[in-house]
Structure 1
């Protein structure tokens, strides 16, 4: 009699239902990584394809427990399907940040049917995706920071301004022109301040960076007695490591007989932060535009002719929606729970506006 090697289904109906969900999610996550890999080249592409292959191993585990029976496999959960949709259309830092969160929510650590290796894989996958996302976060950190802070400041400060002025009982036209004045003044102030801030940061970094002309002295250093190790020690290296680094560099330069043997950053230690800071002009423009766009939202009811309590309520609602959106965006990009960040942003913004509104009511009553 011929024997077959077909796996036998295991587990209770509840177990098999859970395994089918895991199977669907693993397949969907593998698709996400392949979609992201299709938009990248080189090392990042290889890393993403390796992650997809690892999800395939997990898929095979659940399929084995199911005895190879793929009937009744549901659709992946909504979060994973949305992640795949974003990956197909954007393939950006947002998708990597969401994937990082998804890996962190893996249930394998507490599931008795998942192997310890699978649980460990998911934790390591989270760190891999975190590393890939960090590259994108680093490239947009300076400009994105200015944009988000600019929009948030515009929303909160101008809402507080128009609510505080409106609560005093002044005509709607006064509230409108006050809001427009606050928009222009705040946007110009934010843009100028951001430019000065970023330029100052860059100037501080440049002052601390190694002098490129100092490389010219390397060819003439005494290989047995020189102070090059002190440069590395001054920049944070331990004595033994500094001595070893200095000896290797001097020997290499002298063996080459020319400066071509020394790398451009030969006297430097540590990563360059210029990319994370961004440029002063980009940060200033970004801050100006986003502050202005944020500050425009609370003025919209008065622009369209509304006044009184109805305008106040609509302005608060519009700003609340925008605060939730900016807070959630920051949460996604930082790898934190977006809803928590969104609610925090909302509470801070509306809290500040409420204080100025109450003060406006008090001043209006006093004046009246």
Structure 2
């Protein structure tokens, strides 16, 4: 435990800073306990261990403060917001926020924090990163499709609506064009996803070992042992392939158990399990259609409610901007980077593409006139 004797050269600024550290440690420990309450097994144990580590850090500041501990302070706004989310949700978004919170530690720059505490915070960031990665991996496919589809719909249909509108055509024409762009784009996305996923599943099926081949193992010529050719074809060196094939046939002779021809020498994976990460072709097609359509309808909304001219253009841009900022911020949170930076990037890309189309529409309209 750290020395409980107050530092002789403490200043009022030191005391205030230590009290803030103490409040932050207490708040972070509460976040990890709340997250642990929503999990089981290994993840729960890991989160409780993090909470215990924050408790040790808390004690360090209590020892330094001595009689100056005073009334408990609240953590900063970001930590309190994180605690609120942890109590009510506790998903990968909260873990991503906790990862960013650990990365903001300044203990390595503070002479009153021990080297062990600074090292703890760095390791905590990696622990939380690993826990968050599990969640990111579980939703990466769906999230990618949602962000890609919605953003594509937002940007492409905003560009289409602005480009057509800038050419000077009637409002009715803009509305019809926007709806046509929504349907065409959504159907194209759906068809593309169907072909993509279907093709991927077919490639996986073609690459999966045939279960019927395992039945031939008891009848192989032990001296020739052509099973070694299978492992050589999968990339093993000749000697290693021969060793593995000999081991398979030796176990077969000793136990009578027929071993599968999976890449690891075990039973081949269930085809449904292998394909699960890719989803079904129809499921991917329908979700892509819906994600694109949900984004593409936004630029058309002002025209659907009867707005015209510059007012409709401004309203469409504002609505699309809000959506782009939200998707960018969510992407930033999940990736453990700044949500503000990612939101601004989404806005720059989206409005950049729409702006180019709008300028071309103006030029086209001027030429026609």
* Alpha-carbon RMSD: 2.9
Corresponding position of 2:329: 328
Aligned-partner Cα distance in 2 for 1:210–1:199: 19
State which of 6, 11, 21 in structure 2 corresponds to 1:9. Answer: 6
Corresponding position of 1:171: 170
Structure 1, 338-347 or 208-217: larger mean CA deviation:
208-217
Aligned-partner Cα distance in 2 for 1:223–1:305: 81
Corresponding position of 1:43: 42
Uncovered stretches (5+) of structure 1, i.e. residues with no partner: 1-5
Aligned-partner Cα distance in 1 for 2:346–2:134: 26
Corresponding position of 1:3: none
Shift of 1:69: 4.8
Shift of 1:329: 0.8
| Residues 234-313 of structure 1: pairs in structure 2 closer than 5 A | 234-235=233-234, 250-259=249-258, 266-267=264-265, 274-313=275-314
Aligned-partner Cα distance in 2 for 1:47–1:103: 15
Q: Does 1:84 align with 2:83?
A: yes
Corresponding position of 2:125: 126
Shift of 1:241: 6.8
Corresponding position of 2:211: 212
Q: Does 1:338 align with 2:339?
A: yes
Structure 1, 157-166 or 64-73: larger mean CA deviation:
64-73
Shift of 1:363: 1.0
TM-aligned CA distance change 1:118 to 1:344, over 3 Å: same
Aligned-partner Cα distance in 2 for 1:40–1:100: 17
CA contact 1:299–1:315 (8 Å) conserved in 2: yes
Q: Does 1:34 align with 2:65?
A: no
Give the match's secondary structure for 1:170.
coil
CA contact 2:211–2:268 (8 Å) conserved in 1: no
Aligned-partner Cα distance in 2 for 1:308–1:218: 75
Deviations 1:161-187 (A, max 9, x none): 110111111111111111111111111
Shift of 1:28: 1.4
TM-aligned CA distance change 1:59 to 1:244, over 3 Å: farther
Structure 1, 107-116 or 146-155: larger mean CA deviation:
107-116
Aligned-partner Cα distance in 2 for 1:338–1:166: 32
CA contact 1:138–1:276 (8 Å) conserved in 2: no
CA contact 1:210–1:268 (8 Å) conserved in 2: no
CA contact 1:30–1:51 (8 Å) conserved in 2: yes
CA contact 1:231–1:267 (8 Å) conserved in 2: no
Deviations 1:215-274 (A, max 9, x none): 445556688874656655654567787677656555545443223x76976437999874
CA contact 1:219–1:258 (8 Å) conserved in 2: no
Shift of 1:98: 1.4
Aligned-partner Cα distance in 1 for 2:226–2:115: 52
| Residues 102-251 of structure 1: pairs in structure 2 closer than 5 A | 102-218=101-217, 226=225, 231=230, 234-235=233-234, 250-251=249-250
Give the match's secondary structure for 2:109.
coil
Aligned-partner Cα distance in 2 for 1:234–1:152: 43
TM-aligned CA distance change 1:148 to 1:227, over 3 Å: same
Scaled by the length of structure 1, the TM-score of the pair is 0.88
Shift of 1:79: 1.6
Give the match's secondary structure for 2:66.
coil
CA contact 2:214–2:261 (8 Å) conserved in 1: no
Shift of 1:200: 2.1
Aligned-partner Cα distance in 2 for 1:163–1:361: 9
CA contact 2:28–2:51 (8 Å) conserved in 1: yes
CA contact 2:260–2:268 (8 Å) conserved in 1: no
Aligned-partner Cα distance in 2 for 1:239–1:46: 45
CA contact 1:232–1:267 (8 Å) conserved in 2: no
Structure 1, 169-178 or 106-115: larger mean CA deviation:
106-115
TM-aligned CA distance change 1:225 to 1:123, over 3 Å: farther
